[in-house]
Chains A and B, each alone.
Chain A
């Protein structure tokens, strides 16, 4: 089947503004969602897995989904609004620890006032969403400097958020419910009486979260608010002149972005890790997410998924490949090789296509429309 729009006439603006105006794109998405929602559970049912057992699910798909969600959040801030942030790991941590505190019950003794604030443990879904909300509030706070400082200087300011929250969650025992090791465990994952425990259930949970959030994010970025963000990114002076308030546009970007990252953080902690310590949300996580959106494509929701897949899955593949092919290499050599190949691939990609995979795909689509003619 050819990728052609010929004959697909649109008679209303609503059709023209649809999320996927081209029929072939819609079909591709339907197939993809079908595989994700039906195909993978079927595989799990019949227990037929590549790589044996549920390795694919636990070690690849689950982290891929959650990090793709976080990458969407980062992409809104960095890709759409043009505010470089190195604090994504911190916002994930805020989401995770807020959800943890709310999920296990909050107790703030105010001894000098003679009473204490106590909130009983909240349902898991609610605590995850409220965790995102907490991240959004902190995101707004750390977004305020962006009104004055730009570019690399803002990156440094968000880096401050990263180190500050690393420190807070490591040193303030209240957040970890005074656990002596500093490591905490997620509450049991009950959703409306349904216990989410097995890998496939966890996968489905994350899949639903990611699908819903990706859809909402896509709606936002192609609406009025998304245009305001991109206007601020591309030319803030002209944006101001057409009536966009930089304060509103930037802070909403920080809020929405941090909310999504916070929810991703809570999922990462609750669903993927199960028990964790602050190290799980270090600066490395921030950089990893930033690389994902840069390589996947700044200013593209789809790019966030591709970037997450590339950064997360390629190293695993590179690691597995020699063993699968039966090449006798020591584990050490494989690890070194993995770094070398991965690093050079990133360099090559950024030189060839600085706008990432998403741009590569859109160029490919444009060519395909005209194929086999050059123009």
Chain B
């Protein structure tokens, strides 16, 4: 496995707190994601992992704290601004566009890169057609990469779950993100599918050099894939370090297995 360049920090989360009414989802959490690494966020159910991702890509606005992404600090932003900045994401429950084909789903990921206006698209001629074809080329590369050629024209609602997850990854990749957030990319998959997905995640990191932050419950997968792991429990960061360090951490063992009384 390629080791990331440890020096440059891509994303820095500082003292973020998030509350929904009385429920404190995140309490003063700080973490950093270095450029080129695979960073795992783990923790028991309700630990605040998904909330953390939602804060990073602008879905939730933290009550306190700041986020620095690519050297720019901010407290609030809208999801489409995050996507413009280069953050892509997949969802815990597949959030594909059900009525569209796999190809169209991934093409939709290129929206930000397409420039031609309404009138050109209406005529679908000259520059508009050239643009469409150019992006089709890029999308076909991704389809090739994810090995989903046979299903490119199938409406995604008809695809099995594992392939839907793969198409969703493809849509995120089509954005050519700097930071890719994966929310439980392997939830509900069988062993074969998990292996495939792990391979794709490593390949994405290796081949495109994309920084990845992922949430996952399968500990074997997390420990194998990630360079560094952060552990949350009840909205508090309880450990942060390499997989080996985290595995030995007493706080983490207690959080997962409970404390003997």
Name A residues whose Cβ lies closer than 8 Å to a Cβ of B. 12-14, 17, 216, 219-220, 222-225, 227-228, 230-231, 233-235, 237-245, 252, 256, 299
Contact = CB atoms under 8 A, between A and B. Distances in A.
Contact of A256 (B95, B114, B118): B118
B192 to A, nearest CB: 24
A231 B108 contact: yes
Contacts of B98: 234-235
Contacts of B184: none
Contacts of B88: 241-242
A233 B137 CA distance: 26
Given A233-B99, A235-B96, A242-B175, 5 more contacts: A17-B133, A216-B122, A241-B82, A242-B172, A243-B112
A219 to B, nearest CB: 4
Contact of B104 (A12, A230, A235): A230
Contacts of B31: none
B99 A225 contact: no
Nearest to B123: A219
A237 B43 CA distance: 25
A143 B136 CA distance: 32
A222 B129 CA distance: 11
B123 A230 contact: no
Interface string B108-130: 11111010101001111000110
Please name the 9 residue pairs, one residue from A and one from B, whose CB atoms are nearest each other, closest first: A234-B97, A243-B83, A238-B95, A243-B112, A223-B121, A219-B124, A240-B79, A13-B136, A227-B108
Contacts of B121: 219-220, 223-225
Nearest to A245: B80
B140 A230 contact: no
Nearest to A226: B121
Contact of B136 (A17, A219, A228): A17
Contacts of A235: 95-98
Contacts of B123: 216, 219
A242 B57 CA distance: 11
B107 A227 contact: yes
A12 B104 CA distance: 17
Nearest to B110: A224
Contact of A243 (B99, B111, B116, B140): B111
B80 A225 contact: no
Contacts of A243: 80, 83-84, 111-112, 175
Dominant SS among interface residues on chain B: helix
B19 interface: no
Contacts of B49: none
Contacts of A245: 80
A251 B60 CA distance: 25
Interface residues of B, number: 41
B112 A230 contact: no
Contacts of B133: 12-14, 17
B203 interface: no
Contacts of A239: 97, 108
Nearest to A247: B80
B100 A230 contact: yes
B111 A244 contact: yes
A244 B98 CA distance: 17
A244 B80 contact: yes
A248 to B, nearest CB: 10
B122 A219 contact: yes
A233 to B, nearest CB: 7
A320 B259 CA distance: 83
Interface of B: 57, 59, 78-80, 82-84, 88-89, 91, 95-100, 104, 107-112, 114, 116, 118, 121-124, 128-129, 132-133, 136-137, 140, 171-172, 175
Given A17-B136, A234-B98, A235-B96, A225 B57 contact: no
B114 A224 contact: yes
A204 to B, nearest CB: 23
Contacts of B129: 14
Contact of A242 (B59, B99, B108, B118): B108
Nearest to B84: A243
A245 B83 CA distance: 11
Nearest to A218: B124
Contacts of A234: 96-100
Contact of B97 (A12, A231, A256): A231
Nearest to A12: B133
A224 to B, nearest CB: 5
A130 to B, nearest CB: 17
A299 B88 CA distance: 27
A233 B97 CA distance: 8
9 contacts: A216-B122, A216-B123, A220-B118, A230-B97, A230-B104, A235-B96, A238-B91, A239-B108, A241-B82
Given A14-B129, A219-B123, A243-B175, A227 B89 contact: no
Contacts of A225: 118, 121
B99 A241 contact: no
Contacts of B83: 240-243
A241 B95 CA distance: 10
A241 B122 contact: no
Nearest to B89: A241
Contacts of A238: 91, 95-97
A256 B118 CA distance: 9
Contacts of B122: 216, 219-220, 223
Contacts of B110: 224
Contacts of B114: 224
Nearest to B152: A16
